[in-house]
Amino acid sequence: MSDGKPASLDWIGTLIGFDTTSRDSNLDLINHVKDYLAGLGVASTLTFDDDKRKANLYATLGPTDRPGILLSGHTDVVPVDGQDWSSDPFRVVAKNGRLYGRGTCDMKSFIAVCLTFAPKFLERGLETPIHFAFSYDEEVGCVGVRRLIAMVNGLGIKPKMCIVGEPTNMQVTIGHKGKHSYRARVRGYEAHSSLAPIGVNAVEYAAEAVAYLKGMARRIAQEGPFDTLYDVPHTTVHTGTIRGGTALNIVPKDCTFDFEFRYLPEIGHEGYFSEIETYLRETLEPQMHALDPATGFTIEELSSIPGLSMDPGEEVVTFAKSLAGRNDHAKVAFGTEAGLFQQRAGIPTVVCGPGSVDQAHKPNEFVSLEQIEKCEQFMEKLLDHVSGR
């Protein structure tokens, strides 16, 4: 840091400037990174989605004949729709020791620090390779990373450990919850609303199901099971979106809502899902069928992301702690691609990155300069290690 400011500021500004809301293409960002690495003599492998609108990037710095350390992050961000921002979300604003912008915290700053250190890794000379894995569509179900992992699984040499840089205030995180989301479609029976008692109101039955899920959430929060290492120490369930009904003078025939479980990996979520399904089939549907047998609930799985569960004694855990300069570890409620690296790629993984999830997904998202500095210190120690010094 030459003038007291973190070296990664330029890259943070550049990456934030790409609007990579998940529904849009991320190719501008990916190609920019690819070209930059090519300029350093590093080749990148891109794996695309079906429409070729989005891509993952995988690159290896240093020797290609031995397993190295994988630094991973997602390039997409959540929408800003309907949020009240004080500044342009896609233009970094530095104020009061913070950098504001969509993705500053979740999680382009980590990627920026990686890219800032790329020339340093190469200059110093690497004994242990550093791999970069930057994915698309994490926010909509860790969609992109699955293709990247399939590609990595086919490589002769795979990384020996992985650090996913989601925001943890630079605390080494050895566990995160799994996430399983569902779409429920409710089919009612239409009638003129003056004859409401003979119809089956899909919106009202959906509301009963949503209220039951909320009741489950309350009960789990009170009774557990608990894992006190988690900041939210129990499974949570919530309803995220709902849409149903047409005109007010028609009893609604259709209503759709999405809900998700974030579950303790050791417990799983199947029991809870079974409970809501039983409620629908045994309590609500009979009431609906009494008026019309063609009514009811259909449930479709939307996305499933395994949890992360690492033993504190594992090598990647102690290694990451030495880089972070701290001995504590934590578990977090939010999902990351780390669970997939552990379960699908068989690569021991931890999560450790700058910023706090408290700012994620919100308007006026920010990361503090202090966190960026800590992340850069982490990378310096990594640099020392992989260069054999």
User: Which residue's CB is nearer to another protein, number 8 or number 181?
Assistant: 181
Both structure tokens of 51 = 């429409």
User: Which residue's CB is nearer to another protein, number 256 or number 387?
Assistant: 256
> Are 188 and 255 in contact, with CB atoms under 8 Å apart?
yes
> Are 367 and 99 in contact, with CB atoms under 8 Å apart?
yes
Is 240 a residue that touches another protein (CB under 8 A)?
yes
Is 20 a residue that touches another protein (CB under 8 A)?
no
**Amino acid symbol at 164:** V
Q: Which of 378, 316, 361, 386 is nearest to 170 (CA)?
A: 378
Is 353 a residue that touches another protein (CB under 8 A)?
no
Q: Which residue has the tokens 């004859």?
A: 195
User: Which residue's CB is nearer to another protein, number 68 or number 355?
Assistant: 355
Is 128 a residue that touches another protein (CB under 8 A)?
no
User: Which residue's CB is nearer to another protein, number 33 or number 357?
Assistant: 357
Please name the residues in contact with 304: beta carbons below 8 A apart, sequence gap of 6 or more: 178, 179, 180, 181
Is 223 a residue that touches another protein (CB under 8 A)?
no
Q: Which of 101, 129, 244, 355 binds another protein (CB under 8 A)?
A: 244
> Are 161 and 315 in contact, with CB atoms under 8 Å apart?
yes
As a whole number of angstroms, the distance between CA 36 and CA 228 comes to 43
Q: Which of 389, 384, 316 is nearest to 160 (CA)?
A: 316
Minimal distance, residue 98 CB to another protein, in Å: 18
Q: How far apart are the first and last CA of the chain?
A: 21
Is 16 a residue that touches another protein (CB under 8 A)?
no
Residues forming beta bridges with residue 330, ordered by sequence position? 173
Minimal distance, residue 198 CB to another protein, in Å: 9
Helices (H), the chain: 9-16, 27-39, 109-124, 143-153, 202-223, 270-279, 285-291, 315-324, 338-344, 369-386
Residues in contact with another protein, counted by CB under 8 A, come to a total of 66
**Which range touches another protein (CB under 8 A), out of 152-160, 201-209, 321-329, 347-355?**
201-209
Q: Which of 217, 280, 323, 383 binds another protein (CB under 8 A)?
A: 217
Q: Which of 258, 285, 292, 314 binds another protein (CB under 8 A)?
A: 258
**Which range touches another protein (CB under 8 A), out of 50-58, 95-103, 116-124, 210-218?**
210-218
**Which range touches another protein (CB under 8 A), out of 252-260, 264-272, 289-297, 323-331?**
252-260
Is 151 a residue that touches another protein (CB under 8 A)?
no
Cα angle 23, 341, 32 (rounded to 5 degrees) comes to 45
Is 262 a residue that touches another protein (CB under 8 A)?
yes
Minimal distance, residue 277 CB to another protein, in Å: 18
Minimal distance, residue 282 CB to another protein, in Å: 18
Q: Which residue has the tokens 């690159």?
A: 59
Is 365 a residue that touches another protein (CB under 8 A)?
no
User: Which residue's CB is nearer to another protein, number 274 or number 287?
Assistant: 287
Rg of the chain over all Cα atoms, to the nearest angstrom: 23
Minimal distance, residue 89 CB to another protein, in Å: 14
Is 260 a residue that touches another protein (CB under 8 A)?
yes
Coil, helix or strand at residue 259: strand
For 180, the enclosing helix (H) or strand (E) is strand 178-187
Please name the residues in contact with 385: beta carbons below 8 A apart, sequence gap of 6 or more: 128, 319, 323
Q: Which of 62, 68, 252, 339 binds another protein (CB under 8 A)?
A: 252
Q: Give residues in contact with another protein (CB under 8 A).
A: 78-79, 81-83, 139-140, 177, 181, 190-197, 201, 203-204, 206-208, 210-211, 213-214, 217, 221, 231-232, 236, 238-255, 257-260, 262, 302, 332-335, 357-358, 360-363
